[in-house]
Chains A and B, each alone.
Chain A
Amino acid sequence: MSGFKYAAPAQFYPLAGKMALWFAVLAAVLTVIGLVIGLYIAPIDVTQKDSYRIIFIHVPAAWMSMFLYVVMAFWSAMALGMNTRLSAMMAQSIAPTGALMTAIALWTGALWGKPTWGTYWAWDARMTSELILLFLYLGIIALRNAIDDPRRADKACGVLALVGVVNVPIIYMSVRWWNTLHQGASIKLGKTSIDDIMLAGMLVMVFAFWFYSMAATLVRLRAIMLEREAGAAWVARLEEVKEVRKEQ
């Protein structure tokens, strides 16, 4: 089976629907497991007491905010370089979910900062660069809304997404490059500094957020495909489009 087969919207549309359904189910199941571990089973932290439990949503959201940006930039580069319309639609479908994950990371971070550092916000490198990430996502969404021609919007948003990708390694490395209020990474290969059950709960939530993000993005991608290719023959041949037409 060739992967290129799915590079055409007509082939990818039904596959995206199936994937979205399964990813949504997995996300829901993993969220329940992750929340039970994170809020109930995991013991309290010696220094941070119960306030550390914000980690189970903060870290997954923060990781997804960066990961989604890189994926969006990748599809933007593909769209700009290869001029493939599905790649541009993929990039377009990721931005709102990326913005959402960034907003969750910032919000939960503020609520974690207050009890642990005594402040909701500081202009340190980690927080400032994550805020810039939010502005990049919102800027890309606003830029698309400001340009009527979707193909021109693809190009403009693609360039902005690629320029902005330089911010991702800055976010990631900020706690090492600068002396930040934000702590360094707790999860490192070979020398993780948190308890096993805490780590398990956090990884379950990371997968839950990952599957959720993919499901939301794929459903949005299907909507974008229909919006942008409404006149195309492959849309007219879809069962869900034909059915209603017969009834009328």
Chain B
Amino acid sequence: MNVLICISRVPDTATKIVVGSDGKTIDNQGVKFIINPYDEYAIEEGLRIKEKFGGSVTAVTVGSEQSSDILRTALAMGVEKATIIKAPEIFDSYFVAYNLAEYAKSIKPDIILLGRQSVDFDSFQIPSLLAGLIDYNLVTVVSKLTIDANKIICERDVEGGKEIVETNLPCIISAQKGLNEPRYPKLPDIMKAKSKPIEILEAKPTDLKMEVISMEIPMKQRIGKILSDSDEDINELVRLLHEEAKVI
């Protein structure tokens, strides 16, 4: 079984985000970048599929050459081949999906795994766009995956419960938290990862289908009010719930 994993490089979730001087990009200065956390589940699942069924696992990302750091992590976890498709500074989801699709067509994987979303821009578009472009079956937000011969059984998180879906190869699976417990790369594998090559390809340009007009940091949430248990405060609480929160 040949597995392709699409990963993206996102700011660490603990990073304080600052909008750049142009008002429509993130200022990368001093920002720590990590593998998109949902993509880690995809990598782990891909490695488990290979360990069970044999084959190969390839990781690809669309981004700057600096993305070699996240690919190095993927290689240390056990991925065998890694590719960066070099993107210009400004690009949109369609550009990413289109280039992933072109790459997928060239290596024809049996299964493509990727995170359900990237936690930087949260567009949720890549899995669906990619499935459309290469005409693979798609199951999104999968929290359990079972492969039985050509049959793929997926458990999906839906509002208030689970949904079981069945599909067949070739297919695309987008990973939800809980799909597995991603492994830590082991020290010897980290050292070995440096000798594995990272392929760098030029991206094929596409017209922008979406453009960021502006970006701003959300306003701070309103500060909560603390009231005591005095009669006076209880009356105040009732008034606030009634007049301000308008819940009673």
Do A and B come together as binding partners?
A: no
